[in-house]
Structure 1
């Protein structure tokens, strides 16, 4: 077990009494670029580590880059079919927009000019994959950031998109669960909105009727979710507190440059704390760790490369072992 000392492992892996099975989720965007052989090997490894949920990206700008009549979904078909085979539930993330649908703006983060186009796309996905057991959909990613919803967040436009997707998905799969886009944790600027402010604004514009759960990316900012002015209090304000909050991204990088970088032991401790919460906090849905494997070899400055449980060379970080210990 590369990079792990016995004493430190024993310290972090002390026994925990779980009151219920933990809904262990995983982000793994690299699946979209794997060969069939690599995919099967990854799914076998995820099964060993106890992954129960997988967040799969359905990037509209890649799937329908040229027009609304042609779809590139062969790799997604493989992933969804393997998830069904390995008994792993899928949360499908539907996001981004091709140039032909965004009204002439810069792709892919600019939203569609007509939300109905997005709704049609969501409908096709829900109809295609419901038979394989995919009944959970997240609508957009971090819509409170300008880099994800260009040029700047718009709660009213987002609600229109959410409504179009919700109605379209439910029409073809009435049992589906629709999760609002996982929210980032910025301050208010000209191109970003605080998560609580954005959530309040979409509720004010009617989002309550078009979501079954709220998505969030706390990244250590749990107080912004559960504190007195957090997301849960916003949901209570609109009498919607009985719905779950799904943590569709959570993690920490172990290399690169910047204040977010932590040691490998600290990453494992953060992972344990996150999944401990799922047994002690009510109305908390699956938690999806970000990511399964580092995207880069050592030596890169970008910390986004190093959120994995595995290093780029497939050696195991302490967090990989910690993930396995959670039940």
Structure 2
């Protein structure tokens, strides 16, 4: 039978073996596990950073494109397409020598009639209605091709508006006198939004119109910007300069042109607009301080 001494020897041997296993063989496993955990953690962090950067870079399509006009603590929003049409309506009013109030009436009217979009269909009340103002060829507004031309449609609207004293009337009454709609009170609900956009687009509110846009997908054309500006405003002395268009302007006219350019930046693939010590650009989507060329609005087109 084993003696107590034998038991002690076996016990000591077992303890020694455990110590041997724990001390000399387990330690490398712990280091190995720690190293593996560290590598996994680094991989996860690195992969997360790469995924985040890739997500930001590849998902510009998630950016909601919009244009805003700020009045006090209130912000009014249009899509870039709507803002571009509002800019055209305001520019045509100014070109005709009409007031900011006329531009407000025009924008509100188009917002009610077509949501400020150039639609090619009518409704049950006017099946042949077309364009920004839903003008009817059958009622003497022009041909279908003409009323589908936004510049023509705006000019035709203001031609009628200028035949009476719209400035002494409520917006909805003035709009109704031109449009003769089946819903004469419908225009009033768009008045605040129309005022918010007509103010910067007429130049009486500086740096109040901003657009948030995705990066331009193709190069812009200063020649195209110049042609659109000439049609909308009648300005003929803008000077193309490489990827830029330099528009001689001062005061309210300068701010009207600058904010017209921002409202059209999406359609024109414009990268930045600068005037009077401020610049708007796609990267920031707002007006910020910058060195500018005195006496000019500088419209910078996107380049490849």
TM-score surpassing 0.5?
no
TM-score for the superposition, normalised by structure 2 = 0.28
TM-score for the superposition, normalised by structure 1 = 0.27
Find the structure with the greater CA-based Rg. 2
Structure with the larger helix share:
2
